[in-house]
Amino acid sequence: MTAPLSHPTLGPEARSEAVRRATPARLRFAAVTIGVLALLTGLVGALATTQRQSATTAAWQAAEPLMVTAQAIDTSLSDADTTAAASFLQGRVEPAALQSRYETDLTSASADVAAAARDAGSDPQLAASLETLSTDLPLYAGIVQEADFNERQAFYPLAAAYLAEANNLMRSSILPAAAQVYGTEVDRLASEHTTAVSPWLVALAAAFLVALLVALVVAQRRLTRHFHRRWNVALAVATAIVLVVGVWAAVALATQDSGVNDAQANGSRPVSTFTDARIVALRAQADDELTLLTRDSDPSYQADYRTAAADLTRLLAPADTGAATPSSFEADQLTKADAAFGLYTSLHRQIRAADEAGELAGAVALASGSGSHQLPAVSSRLNSTLSAGIDGSQTTFVRASSGAAADLNGLTWGVAIAAILVALLALIGFQPRIAEYR
């Protein structure tokens, strides 16, 4: 501080001013401030991109498969329930196709329950639901087997009573547990999505970035003014790096954001809609079958059918996605499903009318025949349209999510390396000026 200053071109007044303002301590302080700011910007930026990338990746590599598994449990079980009823309604002992469909449903549900349990984590409610599924599924299978055994003995009423008991276990315990597992996984995916587009860290990083830019520009202007150097190459390069990385991050994050939103709007949301519709459609079908099959004293199946039909109508209505327009694929599948459900509804009316008019044999024929306008064919058309909706939306989801995750590839490292470079360049940029005071 006591070293004499010399600046050939400055007048004494100006020089003393420069002396006062550009002491080495100040210069060092500015260098360190910019360096630290650069490192902090890098740190927050890297955190933000890491958080987004890992949530985006987790959404499609972990949460979404779990949701698909949970959805598969729910639909397999609903399908098993309907299939068991259908095979009894057909009256022939174990129609081979239905028997194998029922078995496939149950085995894949068990396998999926095991898979879901592996990834259940520590959520106690999820664990409890999975335990319910594990214990009740074999019981369910046992009761259906008992129904089957009695049907083989031609003890039809007893077979039907066992089947009704199995159905009651399915609806009062198993399906609610499956729905709970499915709901948990849907929530988990939604929370990954929220994290994947979380704006807070990004906003903080952006604020740091702006502060860094401002600091760099101010520093350069002051250095230019006080030391009459037109360019401080190091600081200019640092500024350029900050700008480039800033633009890169902005573009990448915006693309990732829209990719995640696309995955949600045209992927996981319609997957959910189609899944719910499929489960409800299967329930409505089981209601119709069980009405004919088991209970002359239980009007609750038709009451349940009306609820299910109302739910299905709501689910198949043109999607209300808020601002986003549903993809043409989704709209097409919904239209097709709605048409298939229309056919189902009119068949349902015919079956009810026949049953109520006392033409039970006719009602049973409509509900179990193999013709293209009888229940098995009509319901399978509805089912396959809805599964096509699930599969198609699922493909969109995976494509959009993996794309969104890839959008951020390298950004974290880019930001981190850029931050270190900028910090170094700041030190380098100030070093000669500081050295002038030695």
Nearer to another protein, 117 or 424 (CB): 117
From the list 2-10, 193-201, 310-318, 349-357, the region that binds another protein by CB under 8 A is: 349-357
Answer for which of 169, 234, 347, 423 binds another protein (CB under 8 A) is 169
Distance in Å, CB of 214 to another protein, minimum: 55
315 in contact with another protein (CB under 8 A): no
Please state the three-class secondary structure of 18-75 as a single string: HHHHCCHHHHHHHHHHHHHHHHHHHHHHHHHHHHHHHHHHHHHHHHHHHHHHHHHHHH
Residue 147 CA to residue 167 CA, distance in Å, equals 11
DSSP letters for 108-119: HHHHHHHHHHHT
Residue type, 343: L
Nearer to another protein, 215 or 367 (CB): 367
Nearer to another protein, 1 or 154 (CB): 154
Best CA proximity match to 355, nearest among 378, 341, 382, 375: 375
Residue 231, SS3?
coil
Dihedral angle sign, alpha carbons of residues 33, 34, 39, 43: positive
151 in contact with another protein (CB under 8 A): yes
Dihedral angle sign, alpha carbons of residues 388, 391, 397, 400: negative
Best CA proximity match to 187, nearest among 254, 105, 126: 126
Nearer to another protein, 167 or 385 (CB): 167
Between the CA of residue 254 and those of 24, 44, 196, what are the distances in Å? 42, 17, 12
94 in contact with another protein (CB under 8 A): no
Task: Please give the size of the binding site for another protein, defined by CB under 8 A.
Answer: 58
From the list 50-58, 113-121, 249-257, 409-417, the region that binds another protein by CB under 8 A is: 113-121
Answer for which of 357, 380, 410, 413 binds another protein (CB under 8 A) is 357
168 in contact with another protein (CB under 8 A): yes
Distance in Å, CB of 135 to another protein, minimum: 5
Residue type, 80: A
Answer for which of 136, 287, 289, 338 binds another protein (CB under 8 A) is 136
121 in contact with another protein (CB under 8 A): no
Residue 145 CA to residue 80 CA, distance in Å, equals 13
Nearer to another protein, 140 or 344 (CB): 140
**Contact between 173 and 136 (Cβ < 8 Å):** yes
Binding mask 191-210 for another protein (x = CB under 8 A): --------------------
Distance in Å, CB of 167 to another protein, minimum: 8
127 in contact with another protein (CB under 8 A): yes
Nearer to another protein, 298 or 391 (CB): 298
Nearer to another protein, 150 or 401 (CB): 150
Q: Which helix (H) or strand (E) holds 167?
A: helix 156-169
135 in contact with another protein (CB under 8 A): yes
Binding mask 369-408 for another protein (x = CB under 8 A): ----------------------------------------
**Contact between 319 and 331 (Cβ < 8 Å):** yes
**Contact between 42 and 415 (Cβ < 8 Å):** yes
Nearer to another protein, 91 or 199 (CB): 91
Distance in Å, CB of 285 to another protein, minimum: 19
Show the tokens assigned to 142. 């046992």
DSSP letters for 260-306: HHHHIIIIIHHHHHHHHHHHHHHHHHHHHHHHHHT-SS-THHHHHHH
143 in contact with another protein (CB under 8 A): yes
Phi, psi of 149 (to 5 degrees): -60, -45
Show the tokens assigned to 129. 């639901």
137 in contact with another protein (CB under 8 A): yes
65 in contact with another protein (CB under 8 A): no
Nearer to another protein, 96 or 154 (CB): 154
Q: Residue numbers of the site for another protein (CB under 8 A)?
A: 91, 93, 110, 113-118, 120, 127-128, 130-131, 134-139, 141-143, 145-146, 149-151, 153-162, 164-165, 167-169, 172, 294-299, 355-361, 364
